[in-house]
Homo-oligomer: A and B are copies of this chain.
Amino acid sequence: MIESRHVGAGAVMKIDGTVAASWGDIDSPVMARSAIKPLQAIPLVESGAAERFSLSDMHLSLACASHNGEPRHVEAVRAWLSRVGLSEADLECGAHAPGRLPVYEAFLRSGAALTAAFNNCSGKHTGFLTTAVHKGEPTHGYIRRDHPVQQRLLGVYEQLAQCDLSRAPMGTDGCGIPTIGVPLRHMALAMANMANPARLPEARVTAIRRIRAAMNAEPFYMAGTGRFCTRINGTLAGVAQIKTGAEGVYCAMLPTLGLGVALKIWDGTARASEVALAAILRHLGVLSDAQFDAAVTPPVLNVVGLKVGDIRPAASWLGAASR
């Protein structure tokens, strides 16, 4: 018996704007949330800020991360802020406790105070601040829609997604920055342009290649212990760079295929978005059957460790049914 079902949509796009594969409605607006953090890291590199402050793959991975707030994440963010002459007081993302129980337990046992560096978005925010410092912009208010940091991001998204965002629905993300409703077709096109940036200006191409390499090289800093983003980015170096977003979104860049992927589970559930992304990657031959099974078919265990179910993609999300 199937106990629960999730319904979603996904787009696999080429840079010429054609659909390589799709599932469901790819024309309604979807807020990418954190799934486009790699795109939002472009100005950090492109501006020269990353070079000026000698940022490593670890820093760039953190700029793209929704991290667990593990000690290594938090310490790296603090050291980075210090390197650019700032502190946690400059972060405008707010503080939230680590959501995963083992990380939360370790945090409590450490006796540390909860600060904004623990926020899963603290690396992205530190990247924004670093760019602002480098460009001599005010750091205060960098999350506001009219701040140059956010205006630049809007411009990058518009260019890569190849759509006019002036009338797109706008919301506010969990960490305070604007989030924009964009059809999956265009979100995936933005990912295709990151997978195959050949048509873009040289500085942007270089920035994108550096960000992609960092995601594969330092996957722990993308997410953390036990996380799907960390596992897949660590396994598929050079082949795929993936990023989750709140409310059931996933994006992927597939440079060897020159394809971009974006998907949304309409109910917003991560357990389904991970399986859907893995199904697409298998369909495209990026994950082998064995890698797919290892990635997404661990049994559902009950409290005493008995297998009581599993989580599977629907037949329509498997290879043959792509349309």
CB distance from A304 to the nearest CB of B (A): 4
The contact of A176 among B105, B172, B272, B306, by CB within 8 Å, is B306
Task: Answer yes or no: A302 CB below 8 A from chain B CBs.
Answer: yes
Contact with B along A173-196 (1 / 0, CB 8 A): 111100001000000000000000
Q: Taking the complex as formed, is A154 at the interface, i.e. its CB lies under 8 A from any CB of chain B?
A: no
The stretch among A13-21, A92-100, A198-206 that forms the contact with chain B is: A92-100
| A35, chain B: closest CB distance, angstroms | 13
Cα separation A171 to B2 with both chains bound (whole Å):
10
* Copies of this chain, tallied across the complex: 2
Min CB gap A150→B, angstroms:
15
Closest residue of chain B to A303 (Cβ to Cβ) is: B94
Residues on B with C-beta less than 8 A from A4 are: 247-248, 266-268
| Alpha-carbon distance between A96 and B305 when the two chains are bound, in angstroms | 11
| A308 close to chain B: CB less than 8 A | yes
Q: Which residues of B contact A97 (CB under 8 A)?
A: 101
CB-CB contacts below 8 Å: A262-276 with B: 266-269, 272
Determine which of B171, B267, B304 lies in contact with A269 in the assembled complex, contact meaning CB atoms within 8 Å.
Answer: B267
Q: With the chains together, A119 CA to B309 CA distance in Å?
A: 20
Tell me the nearest residue of chain B to A302, going by C-beta. B174
Which residues of A come within 8 Å of B, CB atoms?
1, 3-7, 29, 31, 92-97, 99, 101, 104-105, 108-109, 119, 169, 171-176, 181, 247-248, 266-269, 272, 302-306, 308-309
